[in-house]
Structures are given as C-alpha cells and as structure tokens.
Amino acid sequence: MASTPVTPGQALATLLDGNRRFVAGTPGHPNQDAARRAELAPVQTPFAVLLGCSDSRLAAEIIFDQGLGDLFVVRTAGHVLGPEVLGSIEYGTSILDCRLVVVLGHDSCGAVAAARSAVENGLPATGYVRDVVERVTPSVLAARAAGVTSDSDFIDAHIRHTVDLLLDRSRVLADQVASGHTGVVGLAYQLAEGNARLVTAHGVPTAQSPAPTAAG
C-alpha cells in the first residue's frame, strides 16, 4: 500500500482508488498479512472513520480495498446517529487522528424503506427497530417536501441529512473541519455495480471527488 494519507483529500482519493480496484475485480488486498497484524498489535493508526449502514452487503474494508488498521468503522442500521456513534466518531478523529469521516449509505436500504412505509402508508415498526425508523424519518419527510420521488434520491437525501446532523451535533468535528484538519463526505454505494458515488463533501477539495464507474 502507498504511504498513509495525511490530508482529507488524500484520504478520500485512497478510498476511491481502492473502490475502483474493487469494481474492476483487481483488488490489492493491502495490509492483510501477518506482518501487518503484528505491527498493529500495540497501536492503531487508521486514516479514515467510516460510518456505514449495518447491511451485510456493505463491508467497508472490502469495497474500498483496505486492510487491517486502515479504517475505523462504526456501523448502525441506516447509519443513524446516537451518542455512542458520535463519541466513536470523535474518538476516531480526536484520539486516532483520522483525517476523513465518511457516511456510507447504499441503495435498497431497509431502514430508509421502512421509514418511507411509516410515512406514506402508516406502517410503524415495532420494538427498538422503531427507534431506527424514527431517526431516519426526518430525512424522508424533508425529501418528500422537496419533491423527491426516486429511491436513489431518497437515499442521497438521507446521506446528506446524516452528514449535516453529524456536523451540527458534534462541535468537535465541526471545528476540525473548519480548521482543515478533517473532512466529512457522504458516499452512496451501489450494491449491484459495487461503486461508491460522492453525494456531499465538507472540507475536502472537489478535485478529489470523481466517482468510480463499473467496469464494462
């Protein structure tokens, strides 16, 4: 693997490059050997925090072709935010010095579908699933108010809402973005194609944001 990214733009470029390798079917499987395992035993130095959906089809290290110690991953259904999630992300940027936070959503998201069903058809979830649905509902309501109708646009709206909410609730992260230390981006993953598409970015140069396309 190349040298560890030291800026938000470099971190995003590293992830998108890895995703291109994954889409093309030529992954490098970096940092996955015994030597890397031994190197990481006393300390970890990931370059990015990834807040992703818990969906089993969304394994961050695989789709971005990264290895042990490269990513600090936090996963919840629908990438919803709570105090534990916010604390974990702040730990990644403040203690582990990660330079990028990624909110990773995807098409066919069950949490977004359930929230849409609750809003459009009056079908509320039960148990603690209801808490997840209620946290996604503001994204659905805002998207509907803006005239959104397509599934992909609802997914994008929820990704943007999560990024905005993250920066609004975490003063620590907002200050790190303002100072140029950390960037925050939202990516939408396409399950069939395997590519991650940029949806929104804060504190990351736009030149670092081309979206990979599926190999033909």
pLDDT digits (tens, 9 = 90+) for 5-52: 889 999 999 999 999 999 999 999 999 889 999 988 998 999 999 999
Give the contacts of 145 (CB within 8 A, at least 6 positions apart).
Answer: none
Query: What pLDDT, on a 0 to 100 scale, did the predictor assign at position 2?
Result: 55
Nearest Cα to Cα of residue 188 among 114, 109, 94: 109
Give the contacts of 149 (CB within 8 A, at least 6 positions apart).
Answer: none
C-alpha 153 chain-centroid distance? 17
- Tokens 């971190």, residue? 11
- Cα–Cα dist 59/146, whole Å: 31
Give me the amino acid identity at 119. Answer: V
- Cα–Cα dist 109/161, whole Å: 15
pTM, two decimals, is 0.90
Question: Do the beta carbons of residue 202 and residue 182 sit within 8 Å?
Answer: no
Residue 212 has pLDDT above 80, yes or no: no
Locate 129 and state its tokens.
């699933």
Q: Return the higher-pLDDT residue of 205 and 100.
A: 100
pLDDT digits (tens, 9 = 90+) for 141-158: 999 999 988 999 999 999
The β-bridge relationship of strands 183-189 and 196-202 is antiparallel
Nearest Cα to Cα of residue 184 among 48, 28, 82: 48
Q: What is the CA radius of gyration of the chain?
A: 17
Q: What angle do CA 104, 180, 64 make, to 5 degrees?
A: 30
Residue 206 has pLDDT above 80, yes or no: no
Residues in the chain: 216
- Cα–Cα dist 108/152, whole Å: 9
Residue 216 has pLDDT above 50, yes or no: no
- Cα–Cα dist 167/172, whole Å: 9
When pLDDT is cut at 50, 70 and 90, the band that residue 209 belongs to is very low
108-133 burial: b if 16+ Cβ within 10 Å, else e: ebebbbbbbebbeeeeebeeeeeebb
Locate 88 and state its tokens.
């974990």
Average pLDDT over residues 155-162: 96
Query: What pLDDT, on a 0 to 100 scale, did the predictor assign at position 131?
Result: 93
